[in-house]
């Protein structure tokens, strides 16, 4: 069987690599073509172009590269039609992926289409589900409350679990080795700084996060700041970190990042999947996020929920404090960080919400990549509804 996969950002690359492993275990002769990052390429995918070209978010961020992205959409759709795969599997990045699916379906009307990660129609732009159903046959959801939204729009949908629930996490030994390697005292609070995996996020949030952490250090002088990063933004992060007054320890290698999460007492993070990684490691957090002014305005008008933090949504609590848009200010975030570090009731509320979240996301169950692979094969056996 041949599968054409498209991932547009780091989290999608992780999902795609796990899905490819699951499909290979069930269909040993499976072939993969498409667009992906280093993890998918390590599984045998020859990417049409660098995945980080697609790692954009927000209207203002996309506009300067709109023509280039349109060319990439046409190129990718043509490659799908030429490959004639058993299925096109698009992974997250709906603004790019669903345009490719539409163009590819126009070239190959019988193409089977599967989308991995349901768009956040429960949060904003609910009409996207109906529009998506015009070009997508089946959806694989990673949040347990999402299938009814997709099914109501006319697509089949399976909840396949979230990979963070079964991912390996570090333990006390890893935490101790990390502290020793970086000269961090056993009683010094370790604070993670996570300003995003996209260049646009890092450039917009980094200075505010740094200032918030400096204010926290004024109140808690013994803290040590650790800045985990990913390959797509690592050079940018390292360059900025050298100028930050809070002098963070920058870590990029996966094993060291895992150890840093194990050692952490607290985190200041951009909104996104990283909140679930922190939950898996039971690290209390404060969430901050902002966009370009136009994007912020439009999202603010369309947002249908009072929180965007996934731990809050899955656990149906509001235990994790978040500061979005104009509220993403250093002073307020520093105050919330101090409370999350020193207020034991607030810490316990976060930890309880994290534990519930992991249980609901499939902790202790079958690997999501394998569950997703089973979902793909089941969908291909089902008759098309249209």
Q: Report d(CA 248, CA 246) in Å as an integer.
A: 6
Q: What is the pLDDT of residue 59?
A: 41
Residue 164 is inside which H or E element, if any? none
User: Could you tell me how far CA 209 lies from the centroid of its own chain?
Assistant: 19
Domains 2-165+364-381 and 172-360 share a fold: yes
Asked if residues 340 and 266 have their Cβ atoms less than 8 Å apart, the reply is yes
Domain 172-360 matching CATH 3.10.440.10: the answer reads: no
Strands 138-141 and 156-159, how do they pair? Answer: parallel
Q: What is the pLDDT of residue 245?
A: 86
Q: What is the pLDDT of residue 124?
A: 63
Asked if residues 316 and 83 have their Cβ atoms less than 8 Å apart, the reply is no
Nearest to 88 by CA among 376, 369, 326, 381: 376
Q: What is the pLDDT of residue 305?
A: 82
Dihedral angle over CA of 23, 24, 27, 29, nearest 10:
130
Residue ranges of domains in the chain: 2-165+364-381, 172-360
Which tokens is 188 given?
A: 């010094």
Nearest to 116 by CA among 101, 130, 131, 134: 101
Architecture of domain 2-165+364-381: 3-Layer(aba) Sandwich (3.40)
Q: What is the pLDDT of residue 63?
A: 58
Nearest to 262 by CA among 164, 170, 165, 168: 170
pLDDT in tens, the chain (386 residues): 999 999 988 889 999 999 999 999 999 999 999 999 999 999 999 999 988 878 654 444 555 667 888 899 999 999 999 999 999 999 988 888 999 999 999 999 999 999 999 988 776 667 789 999 999 999 999 999 999 999 999 999 999 999 899 889 999 999 999 999 999 999 999 999 999 988 889 999 999 999 999 999 999 999 999 999 988 789 999 988 888 888 899 999 999 999 999 999 999 999 988 999 999 999 999 999 998 777 777 666 666 788 989 999 999 999 999 999 999 999 999 999 999 999 999 999 999 999 999 999 999 889 999 999 999 999 999 887 65
- Angle among Cα 25, 26, 32 to the nearest 5 degrees reads 75
- Angle among Cα 381, 82, 382 to the nearest 5 degrees reads 10
- Angle among Cα 129, 135, 141 to the nearest 5 degrees reads 50
């Amino acid at each position: 069987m041949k599968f054409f996969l498209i991932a547009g950002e780091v989290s999608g690359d992780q999902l795609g690599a796990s899905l490819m492993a699951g499909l290979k275990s069930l269909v040993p002769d499976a072939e993969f073509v498409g667009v992906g990052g280093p993890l998918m390429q390590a599984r045998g995918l020859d990417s049409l172009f660098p995945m980080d070209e697609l790692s954009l978010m927000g209207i203002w961020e996309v506009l300067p590269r709109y023509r280039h992205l349109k060319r990439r959409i046409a190129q990718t759709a043509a490659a799908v039609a030429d490959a004639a795969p058993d299925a096109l599997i698009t992974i997250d990045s709906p603004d790019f992926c669903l345009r490719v699916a539409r163009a590819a379906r126009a070239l190959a009307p019988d193409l089977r289409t599967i989308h991995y990660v349901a768009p956040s129609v429960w949060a904003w732009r609910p009409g996207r589900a109906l529009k998506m159903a015009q070009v997508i046959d089946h959806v694989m959801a990673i949040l347990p409350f999402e299938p009814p939204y997709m099914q109501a729009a006319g697509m089949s949908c399976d909840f396949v679990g979230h990979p963070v629930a079964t991912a390996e996490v570090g333990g006390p030994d890893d935490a101790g080795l990390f502290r020793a390697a970086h000269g961090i005292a056993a009683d010094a609070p370790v604070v993670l700084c996570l300003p995003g995996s996209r260049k646009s996020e890092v450039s917009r949030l980094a200075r505010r996060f740094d200032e918030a952490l400096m204010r926290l250090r004024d109140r808690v002088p013994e803290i040590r700041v650790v800045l985990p990063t990913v390959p797509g933004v690592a050079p940018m992060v390292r360059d900025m970190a050298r100028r930050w007054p809070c002098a963070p320890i920058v870590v990029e290698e996966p094993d060291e990042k895992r150890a840093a999460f194990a050692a952490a007492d607290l985190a200041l993070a951009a909104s996104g999947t990283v909140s679930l990684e922190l939950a898996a490691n039971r690290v209390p957090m404060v969430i901050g996020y902002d966009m370009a002014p136009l994007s912020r305005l439009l999202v603010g008008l369309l947002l249908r929920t009072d929180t965007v933090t996934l731990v809050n949504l899955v656990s149906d609590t509001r235990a994790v404090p978040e500061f979005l848009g104009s509220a993403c200010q250093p002073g307020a975030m520093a105050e919330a960080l101090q409370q999350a570090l020193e207020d034991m009731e607030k810490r316990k509320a976060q930890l309880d919400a994290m534990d519930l979240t992991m249980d609901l996301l499939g902790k202790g169950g079958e690997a999501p990549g394998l569950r997703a692979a089973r979902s793909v094969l089941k969908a291909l056996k089902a008759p098309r509804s249209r």
